[in-house]
Amino acid sequence: MRFTSFCLLFVPATLLAEEACECPHDHADEHQHDGHPAETSGSPHHPHLELDEHDDGWFHFHPHLSAAIALGGSTSEKNLGLLRGGHAPIDDGFNLQGIEFGAVMEFGSALSLHTTYNTFWDRYDHWDGEWEDAYLALTLPAGISLRGGQFFAPFGHENQLHLHDRAFVEPPISVIRLLGEEGLVVQGGDIAFHLPGPGENTIFRFGYGQSRSHSHGGARDFRRDLYQEALEHAGEEHHDDDDDDDHDHEEEEHAHGFAGNGGVYDVDDAYLDDGFFFARLETDVCSGYGLNRAGVSFAAGENGFGRTTWVVGADLFGTFDLAGMPSWWRAEAFYRSVDAYDRAGLPGHFDETGIYAACGCEFVQDWMVAARVEWASGDRMAGAERRLRASTNVEHVSHLAEFADLHTRLQYTFDDLGGYGTEHTVWLQFVLNLGAAEHGHDH
């Protein structure tokens, strides 16, 4: 509960601080949407941000396309012990993480339609796809905006990003563990409005909906099942060869296996499911100490057990100058509380905490280096092992045309799998954006 107290006391005080400040533009800062207020700060490549101010037409159509591939591999057995999610690469060798087809249709200055469809391929499942965004946004007087359909829930920063917006090859462990394999995608609606605050933008969002059900193909699920069975058989054979004195030790190691395996609760049912509320408060903050933005998020409702899950999060973002190099930092923390039923049908409870911190700088024009450290507490009763991950990458942006750029990223990741093993992963990723403005690097 220490983390919950931090969120409830420290971060709101930061959000509502009355310190006057000016927020000059920083090259290393994030690119925010200047279009409809209902649009969240999660897709800087959407081309409708570059509207021609002299174009007074009633209808605007802005298609965009992004593609991401990754080459490389891991020392992990079939890469399934690394909590892959969010279209992170899963196969050694070639991975087509996704091809995103999107469009923004604007009907005057008040109404817009946003759609994004992601199709992907791997050597086992072959082609598959899913809708990521499909929603209407309506701007009302007094700075109020409404949104309805399917969209990434405004929970923290990373959860709102599409594949092509990320600064790392895979999403943080905390997002996958506590919000969902693909993050928290909501089918419902929300309302957003501006509040008085120290910065130019202090926005409160509140909504209700259900999570999107999705599957990445039977072959991937089959591979996961085989991996779990292999862990079980390995544990049984090892146990047969040991003395009775080692029984407790072996059972403890087995409980640290693949997430969702070895616990008394089915961790997949812990996610928010049929109906939940969500809210977010975020603001610009100019404290003079490299802190630019702060936010708190909350979501609560029915989970897959038919009981209650609630999640709280806090996020901070800042920019600074490092020996003349534009630099940035970001941190997010999450806490989840789950009311559950065990495999015998008896009621119970478990919780989990996750946190990550990341930073980066542009050391030469269009050349960036970034690093991220993550930790998830895990819960042995849910079969979710403790996790520690450290990643670093170097990235180059090639500006191919006015509305086309290519991000090339080489990344190394170290995973500590709950103390029972370590893994090493290297990916070479290419992300192509078409129909998008030249934003350079996205943080």
Provide the CATH number for the domain around residue 8. 2.40.160.10
CA distances from 289 to 30, 281, 286, 358 (A): 17, 21, 8, 17
Answer yes or no: is 303 within a domain.
yes
Cβ–Cβ under 8 Å, residues 212 and 150? yes
Answer yes or no: is 86 within a domain.
yes
pLDDT score recorded for residue 48:
40
pLDDT score recorded for residue 183:
92
* Tally of domains within the chain: 1
CA–CA separation, 339 and 442 (whole Å): 37
pLDDT score recorded for residue 197:
67
Answer yes or no: is 318 within a domain.
yes
Residue written as token pair 């339609």: 113
Cβ–Cβ under 8 Å, residues 328 and 441? no
Cβ–Cβ under 8 Å, residues 43 and 62? no
Answer yes or no: is 206 within a domain.
yes
- The full 3-state SS of the chain, as one line of letters, equals CHHHHHHHHHHHHHHCCCCCCCCCCCCCCCCCCCCCCCCCCCCCCCHHHHCCCCCCCCEEEEEEEEEEEEEEEECCHHHHHHCCCCCCCCCCEEEEEEEEEEEEEEECCCEEEEEEEEEEEECCCEEEEEEEEEEEEEEEHHHEEEEEEEEECCCCCHHHCCHHHCCCCCCCHHHHHHCCECECEEEEEEEEEECCCCCCCEEEEEEEEEECCCCCCHHHHHHHHHHHHHHHHHHHHHHHHCCHHHHHHHHHHHCCCCCCCCCCCCHHHHCEEEEEEEEEEEEECCCCCCCCEEEEEEEEEEECCCCEEEEEEEEEEEEEEECCEEEEEEEEEEEEEEEEECCCCCEEEEEEEEEEEEEEEEEECCEEEEEEEEEECCEHHHCECCEEEEEEEEEEEEEEECCEEEEEEEEEEEEEECCCCEEEEEEEEEEEEECCCCCCCCC
Domain limits for position 329: 2-434
- Which amino acid, one-letter code, is at 398? S
CA–CA separation, 361 and 198 (whole Å): 27
pLDDT score recorded for residue 371:
98
CA distances from 199 to 9, 22, 194, 279, 290 (A): 20, 8, 11, 20, 14
Residue written as token pair 């995608």: 185
Per-residue pLDDT of the chain (443 residues), as tens digits, is 444 444 444 444 444 444 444 444 444 444 343 333 344 433 433 444 444 555 667 899 999 999 999 999 998 865 555 666 768 888 889 999 999 999 999 999 899 999 999 999 877 778 889 999 999 999 999 889 999 999 999 999 999 999 999 999 999 999 999 999 889 999 999 999 998 866 668 899 999 999 987 554 444 555 555 555 555 554 444 444 444 444 444 433 333 333 334 568 988 899 999 999 999 999 988 666 788 999 999 999 999 999 999 999 999 999 999 999 999 999 999 999 999 999 889 999 999 999 999 999 999 999 999 999 999 998 888 878 899 999 999 999 999 998 899 999 999 999 998 777 899 999 999 999 998 543 333 33
Answer yes or no: is 417 within a domain.
yes
pLDDT score recorded for residue 46:
42
Answer yes or no: is 442 within a domain.
no
Q: What is the pTM of this model?
A: 0.81
CA–CA separation, 148 and 137 (whole Å): 7
Answer yes or no: is 441 within a domain.
no
CA–CA separation, 329 and 29 (whole Å): 10
Query: What region, left, alpha or beta, does residue 324 occupy, with left being phi > 0 and alpha being psi -120 to 50 degrees?
Result: left
Answer yes or no: is 98 within a domain.
yes
pLDDT score recorded for residue 443:
37
CA–CA separation, 332 and 168 (whole Å): 15
